């Protein structure tokens, strides 16, 4: 079996690290060798955060080089564009359409690109777009955007919904469990 490479990107506070932990746990439970890495950067100030998860029969490194990611899972659209070079041209991009304005845009020093979805589709045509924030709100907490996006990702990986639910049950505190399970199902059932 070939190695599957998932590159996860977003900004600090979006739950990227938990998402990569859940993905890693599901893959480990599925009997795969798993390697994971993460870069926090200026995460506490809303800066970029990336994580790489690779799984397969035998994985030697967590590093995903340019053009190697089977899936780019982007929690924020501008971060999707910024890290698009990691995706295979024939790969898949799953992107949360809800932007988080960087400080330079909020201060008026820069402008948020209006054509970024067209630019993403030009580079990697297989794009799944969803408003993770709206689906998370529907699940009962906007803090579950990460699990909504994992639900969307789950449609393209060889793990059952039960595998994902078990991982969520092991990692998410009991008082947030039902919201996260609902968020996962909303992302998994999203048509778009």
Which CATH number characterizes residue 54's domain? 3.40.920.10
Kindly give the pairing relationship between strand 87-96 and strand 127-130: parallel
Give the model's pLDDT for residue 104. 75
In-domain check, residue 143: no
CA distance 145 to 96: 8
Q: Which pLDDT tens digit goes with each residue over 98-114?
A: 998 877 777 888 888 88
For residue 127, give the H/E element and its range. strand 127-130
pLDDT at residue number 40: 62
In the DSSP assignment, the letter for residue 32 is -
Given a cut of 50, whether residue 43 has pLDDT beyond it is no
- Nearest CA among 37, 27, 88 for reference residue 62: 37
pLDDT at 45: 57
What is the domain count for the chain? 1
Tell me what percent of the residues of the chain surpass a pLDDT of 70. Answer: 95
Residue 180 lies in a domain: no
CB 162, CB 135: distance < 8 Å: no
Helix 177-188 × helix 161-171 angle, to 10° = 150
| Domain membership flag for residue 37 | yes
Give the distance from CA 57 to its chain's centroid: 22
- pLDDT for 20 equals 96
Q: Which residue do the tokens 């630019």 mark?
A: 119
Mean of pLDDT values over 176-181: 97
Residue closest to 6 by CA, chosen among 49, 89, 62: 62
Q: Which domain holds residue 61?
A: 4-108+115-131+153-172
CB 46 within 8 A of CB 14: no
Q: How many CB atoms are closer than 10 A to CB 50?
A: 20
Structural domain includes residue 183: no
Confidence of residue 32 (pLDDT cuts 50, 70, 90): very high
Distance (Å, whole) CA 88 – CA 67: 4
Q: Determine, yes or no, domain membership for 145.
A: no
Residue at 192 is within a domain: no
Flag whether 93 is in a domain. Answer: yes
Domain assignment present for 146: no
Name residue, tokens 């506070």. 13
């Amino acid at each position: 079996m070939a190695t599957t490479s998932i590159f996860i990107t977003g900004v600090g506070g979006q739950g990227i690290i938990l998402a990569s932990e859940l993905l890693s746990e599901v893959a480990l439970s599925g009997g795969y060798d798993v390697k994971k890495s993460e870069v926090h950067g200026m995460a506490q100030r809303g800066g970029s955060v990336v994580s790489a998860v690779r799984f397969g029969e035998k994985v030697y490194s967590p590093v995903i080089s340019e053009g190697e990611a089977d899936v780019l899972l982007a929690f924020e659209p501008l971060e999707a564009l910024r890290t698009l070079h990691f995706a295979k041209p024939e790969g898949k991009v799953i992107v949360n359409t809800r932007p988080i304005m960087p400080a330079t845009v909020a201060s008026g020093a820069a402008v948020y690109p209006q054509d970024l979805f067209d630019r993403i589709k030009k580079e990697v045509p297989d794009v799944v777009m969803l408003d993770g924030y709206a689906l998370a709100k529907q699940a009962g907490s906007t803090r579950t955007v990460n699990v909504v996006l994992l639900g969307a990702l789950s449609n393209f990986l060889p793990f059952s919904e039960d595998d994902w639910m078990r991982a969520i049950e092991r990692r998410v505190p009991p008082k947030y469990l039902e919201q996260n399970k609902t968020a996962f199902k909303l992302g998994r059932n999203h048509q778009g």
